[in-house]
Amino acid sequence: MRLKDLAKFTGEKESALKKFNTDIKGIVSIKEYYLPTVHPIYTIRRNRYNLPDLETDFITLSKGFTQVDAPIKVKGYYIKLLLIAEDDIITLSNAKVGTLLRMNKDTVQSYNVDLQKLDLLQMQPNGVKLTPDNLLLSNDIAKPKLVWIENSQNPLPNITLKSKN
């Protein structure tokens, strides 16, 4: 995917993604490999991207999160809130959340209103309460899935179709 495509997909300006390749190289290890060809001069180069092992502090979103009808930036903000929340509650002011997430406090307030309309956030006297309900899976469920995927040699079942004739 080109940066221009990524910018269009995420709703960001292309100029905001200038450092994306540099940032992602700091996280992902990239290994080049070449596909065999019959042409004597040209080669086909591909990259294999290896993500690091998950750390202990992570969240697992359900596929239902993709069905939430919200702009991608609001979804990204919600994920950031889930990562900093303690028991789904954030007791920080909008200004402090903005500082922590490197966002303008007015943007934080705007995104909070959007999330409140989607019933993903409730305003409380001491802060905000996140209501991920079915959007956030327990990591106890996610870990066995991760282990199964890593250990399975062939994730597809072996199916044989027979004709009735």
Q: Give the C-alpha separation, 103 to 76, whole Å.
A: 12
159 in any annotated domain: no
Considering the chain, what percentage of its residues have pLDDT values greater than 70?
79
By residue range, what is the domain housing residue 38? 3-50
The answer on 68 and 13 residing in a single domain is no
Supply angle C-alpha 16, 22, 23, rounded to 5: 75
39 in any annotated domain: yes
The answer on 81 and 44 residing in a single domain is no
pLDDT in tens, 31-45: 888 888 888 888 888
Q: Give the C-alpha separation, 32 to 34, whole Å.
A: 7
- Say whether pLDDT at 116 is over 80: yes
95 in any annotated domain: yes
129 in any annotated domain: yes
Alpha-carbon torsion angle 137, 141, 143, 149, nearest 10: -100
> Secondary structure of the chain: what % helix, strand, coil (to 5)?
45, 20, 40
Eight-state DSSP code of residue 55? -
Domain count, the chain: 2
pLDDT in tens, 12-68: 788 888 888 787 777 788 888 888 888 888 888 888 878 776 555 667 777 888 888
Residue 128's CATH number: 1.10.10.10
Confidence of residue 134 (pLDDT cuts 50, 70, 90): confident
pLDDT at position 152 is: 44
Confidence of residue 110 (pLDDT cuts 50, 70, 90): very high
